[in-house]
Chains A and B, each alone.
Chain A
Amino acid sequence: MVLGRTLWKLIALKLFIIFAVLKLFFFSNFLEKNFHTDLERSAHVLDNLTRTPAPP
């Protein structure tokens, strides 16, 4: 079935782009990547919350 093959190819290509390209190279989790423990992450967020913010 031609349509089915086309859709499966599209799905595979899309998932590859999303998970193997975008996630790996552009969308690292900032807190996971830059801090090692939950204590460090919460300290970082707390620093941001208690610093003068940018206007919305």
Chain B
Amino acid sequence: MGNEILSTVNWSRAQFALTAMYHWIFVPLTLGLSFLIAFFESIYVKTGDESWKKLTKFWMTLFGVNFAIGVATGIIMEFQFGTNWSNYSWMVGDIFGAPLAVEGIFAFFLEATFFAVMFFGWQRASKGFHLFSTWMVAIGSNLSAVWILIANAWMQTPTAMAFNPDKARFEMQNFADIALSPNAVHKFTHTTSSAFLLASLFVMGISGLFMLQRRHLLMAQRSMVVAATLGLVASVFVAFNGDESAFHIAHRQPMKLAAMEGLYTGQDKAPIVAMGVINMSKKPGDDLPAFYQEVKVPGMLSLLANRDFNSYVPGINDLVYGNPARGIVGAQQRMVSGKIAVAELGRYKTAKQNGDAATAASALALFNQNKEDLGYGYLNAPEEAAPPVGLVFYAFHIMVGLGTLFPIIFLAVLFFAFKGTLDSQRWLWWVCFGCLFLGYVASQAGWVVAEVGRQPWAIQGLLPVGVATTNIAASSVQTTFFIFLALFTALLIAEIGIMVKQVKIGPEE
């Protein structure tokens, strides 16, 4: 029975991860390319140069292909909430309902309306109104993304809610506090700026291909320069709000930060691991080395986490077993209060069913004293509070490594464009083409850090993934997993095929 439940949990996880990662192939290009197109069209309207219009329409065609393939892929995740994650979806319904409803409204009314004008209104709308519509598509699509990111931020750092033990639901106490929580703000800014970065790489990649094929050279160079400019600005924002995110994670999700750096033993002047080969066999509490090889920069993790070079950064062992000397309460101790919370919730439920008001009152009081650690009450061992360290570590370092490379590429493009020698840097065109794919790798790696790093939690500290799932047969989840795999693979092949064809056709000459 236990193995069956575990199998259901893991297949449900795998299915959600699959759907989310496929969805995230299409979304960042929509978010970022919409703004690039708006910039291209603005240049056309400003200059009146018809070649900029042709350039805009070319990128708009690729945007349309990506949008058409990607649209509604996200809705499948909402289906999964209701089927595979029924406990979770019931408990968070009051919190998620408003943001997801607003996302739908923004997407439908704002984005879709102006989308129609953008695509079909070239001959029907004035230049000014068409340009306005293009900007509204860009703004609307990014504003749509806000709401799901607010929901995700709340999962990571739950706030402004109260648990109703009669309804088994978290009830929203303050919408503004949820929508404007530091994590929500960082998540939105980091995600959207990374999308602009990816779109810039996409445009530069295809432009690089045109340069290599000696086709549409003027259009390719113009596109590269605009994309490199946006990409460089976006890189600065990505770095800045990535740093802010990490600072916030250090204080609200310290286990995630420790996993990101493979830090098992907390220390003062904690180093950042610039690169390393992590020991995948290492577990919390054992004596194995954390790394086979590593290159460290002393003090930098303390600076990142606490803005204090000399400060203490807790390691995985501190957070699992506790460190009284440092005032760190570990999962081991939290499990004690968590199990009291779970037991008292059960006692409250039984007392209410029996009409025993006195027992219900005392059970509720004890539950409320311990409810902050409710999620820990469901763990079987304190080591379960740690996420898969290797996966989080490598995903984080791949993301940061590539995020460091990309602005160098943008600067190189702008440098040679300024010098007037961009059209003779064949090596750079190859690099741009290669970075198109690396952009997607970095983009996915970021979400792996965010979502694998929060394990075992569906709601940080309050609901582990193992309790969030529906009690259904693993076989049914397996079936839909493979249906999704087939469906999304077919969609991806279709997108790539149609995109490649449109790139071969190229812009109007």
- Interface positions of A (Cβ within 8 A of B): 3, 6-8, 10-11, 14-15, 17-18, 22-23, 26-32, 38, 41-42, 45-50, 53-56
15 extra interface residue pairs, beta carbon distance < 8 Å, beyond A3-B61, A10-B491: A3-B498, A18-B75, A26-B83, A27-B82, A27-B83, A28-B82, A38-B167, A41-B90, A42-B169, A54-B2, A54-B467, A55-B380, A56-B455, A56-B456, A56-B465
A22 CA / B349 CA spacing, docked (Å) = 36
Is A46's CB under 8 angstroms from B69's CB? no
Q: By the criterion CB–CB under 8 Å, are A18 and B72 in contact?
A: yes
> In the complex, are the beta carbons of A3 and B502 less than 8 A apart?
yes
Partner among B2, B79, B169, B476 whose Cβ is within 8 Å of the Cβ of A22:
B79
B interface list, Cβ under 8 A from A: 2, 5-6, 9, 61, 64-65, 68-69, 71-72, 75-76, 79-80, 82-83, 86-87, 89-91, 165-169, 342, 345-346, 349, 378-380, 384, 455-456, 464-467, 470-472, 476, 479-480, 483, 487, 491, 494, 498, 502
Q: Give the interface SS of chain B, mostly helix, strand, loop or mixed.
A: helix
Known pairs A17-B487, A53-B378, A54-B9; A42 contacts B82 (CB<8 A): no
7 smallest A-B Cβ distances: which pairs? Answer: A56-B456, A50-B346, A29-B82, A54-B5, A27-B79, A56-B466, A30-B86
Residue pairs across A and B with Cβ atoms less than 8 A apart, 7 shown, are A3-B64, A3-B65, A14-B69, A22-B483, A30-B472, A42-B168, A56-B455
CB distance from A27 to the nearest CB of B (A): 4
Given contacts A22-B480, A56-B456, contact A6 B90 (CB under 8 A): no
The answer to whether A49 and B342 touch (CB under 8 A), given A30-B86, A56-B9, A56-B456, is: yes
Bound: A7/B346 CA distance, A: 53
List, in ascending order, chain B residues with CB within 8 A of A41's CB: 90
> How close is A19's CB to chain B, nearest CB, in angstroms?
8
User: Which residue in A14, A32, A45 is a CB contact (below 8 Å) of B91?
Assistant: A45
Q: Which of A11, A14, A17, A49 has the most CB of B within 10 A?
A: A49
Q: Which residue of A lies closest to B498 (CB)?
A: A6
Question: Given the known A-B contacts A14-B72, A18-B76, are A28 and B6 also in contact in the complex, defined by CB atoms under 8 Å?
Answer: no
Q: Is the CB of A28 within 8 A of B169?
A: no
Pick from A8, A32, A48: contact of B467, CB under 8 Å: A48
A54 vs B11: C-alpha distance when bound (angstroms): 14
Contact (Cβ within 8 A) A49 B69: no
Complex Cα distance, B480 from A35, in Å, reads 23
Q: Is the CB of B87 within 8 A of A49?
A: yes
Write the nearest CB–CB distance from B129 to chain A, whole angstroms. Answer: 21
Among the listed B91, B345, B466, which residue makes an inter-chain contact with A50, where contact means beta carbons less than 8 Å apart? B345
Name the CB-closest residue of B to A21: B483
CB distance from B125 to the nearest CB of A (A): 18
How many angstroms between the C-alpha atoms of A50 and B467 in the bound complex?
10
Evaluate contact between A50 and B342: CB separation under 8 angstroms.
yes
Name B78's closest neighbour in chain A (CB-CB). Answer: A27
Residues of B within 8 A of A8 (CB): 68
Q: How far is the CA of A47 from the CA of B352 in the complex (A)?
A: 13
A17 to B491 Cα, complex, angstroms: 12
